[in-house]
Structure 1
Amino acid sequence: SNLRLVIKVALRYAGRGLPFMDLVEEGNLGLIRAVEGFDSERGVRFSTYAMFWIRQRIEKALFEQRQPVRMPVNKARRVNLLARTEQNLLQRLGREPTLEEVALELGEEAKEIRALKAYVRQQSSFDQPSSPSSDRHLNEVVEDNSAVDPVEFLHRLAIESLLEQWLQSLDDRTSEVMRRRFGLEGTERETLESVGRAMHLNREAVRQIQIRGLLKLRKLLLREGFSASALLD
């Protein structure tokens, strides 16, 4: 079943900085995104498509624990476009696109795409240890032939310059929930249960506040010309 697929993927990332149930929760969000975006007429197997989104969501959550990265808005827009293009090619081709295929789709030279990816890796500290208790690096943990490119993980970080504006538009309670849940402004990322205990709310109340806050962020991103789907789904 699909739930077994999520658990199977989550087990690969156990012990790397997030509680196992958090990994499953993130994987389920990726599965939901896959269900919403899957198009059987494109000839891609659902399991292949779902695996992409489950891994992406879990690996992005792991990256969110690291030092926030500030990226210039013009560079962020290029990263955003690159991420969307790679996602579209994945669904069209049924596999991870090559560098040359991405460059052709964007109408750029392969060396330009390679340089952008190198910039992303540098900014995301992709060679940091995968967890404080491990000397393994993320580029060792994630297999080259199956991993989502770091561009995917940085989609949230790429628009970080807009987060302050978004947080200021929220009421105090919603702002606190979002800061705690996503580890914003140097705080540690917390689970729904942890936030609920600290704010005297149940898990579902925290989840609903989070959803409302993310809807406001979606509107802000769309207004600024960013794709909200890869960030919020």
Structure 2
Amino acid sequence: MNTVQLDGRGRPAAKDFRARNDELFARRGELQERLAVLRARADADELDMLSELALRRAEREMEDLIHDILNVNFGLVRRYVAMFTSRSSKHVEDFESAGKVGLLWAISSYDPARGPFAGWAFKPIQREVLRAVRDADHPNLNPGDFEKRPAILAAERAFLEEAGPDAPVDHAAVARRAGVTEAQVLRVLDAPRLDSLHTPAPGQGEDDAPWEERLPDPSPGVEDEVLLRFDLRAITGHGLPSLDPRERFVLTRRFGLDGEPEQSLRVIGERLGLSREGVRQIQQKALAKLAEPLVGTSDESRELEGRAG
């Protein structure tokens, strides 16, 4: 049984870490060659039962091997997450998950001839972790500005060390130090704040409703629903025959025009093999087709009501 020596922090010693990676990737190379031969025979329809079992066994071995490589190198993900992120962030687990995606990409693309795996994995892990950091902690920055953010912050610190901590920041001087445009400096240092819709609206007291409750509701009101249902019943025998079968089915099921209970977009979509958005678009298209019959039918209804009155 091989014993792995640990360093002062309880991590595998660098020599053993590299040796373990070399061993695992050597096994991966052998498995890749074996799989290539078996898959080529499968594509040529030349596999017998024993060869097919060998192919399935080799595929399972590859999955297990990738899992082993992932476990051995997951320390790289944690190290790079600590390097690229703030310890106070609430999204460390999300950042590690993103780093694992980068690690898997590095494993699939690594060639031992390119040098140590840790160096090869740095860029893919960094890319995925920084993308997750931007989405979680800095959603108001575009990718280009976020990439330049460390250089801009370092240039700002250097400027304040020279000019004094209370000196106003010279954005042009910071831009020259960081090698970026002044507009990028302004966007990074004075980034707009994105408040949650659940945040109470300011200026109205502590009991003020949050922003989301002050936004207009896009859904139709009761009066609109009543008018829509009246018009749909009115054109059942006139406008519906002009629709294609799918549009007619969606409107009939959506608004219960056949006397059956109304169905949601999701339920209708499951029956048609469509998404909710797909059903909604069919519904809108059908209603647009019925716009002219709706107007005519509503006018006729009002005229009859006037005569009756």
Q: TM-score range by the shorter chain?
A: 0.3 to 0.5
TM-score normalised by structure 1 residue count = 0.33
TM-score normalised by structure 2 residue count = 0.26
Higher normalized contact order (CA 8 Å, seq sep 6+, divided by chain length): 1
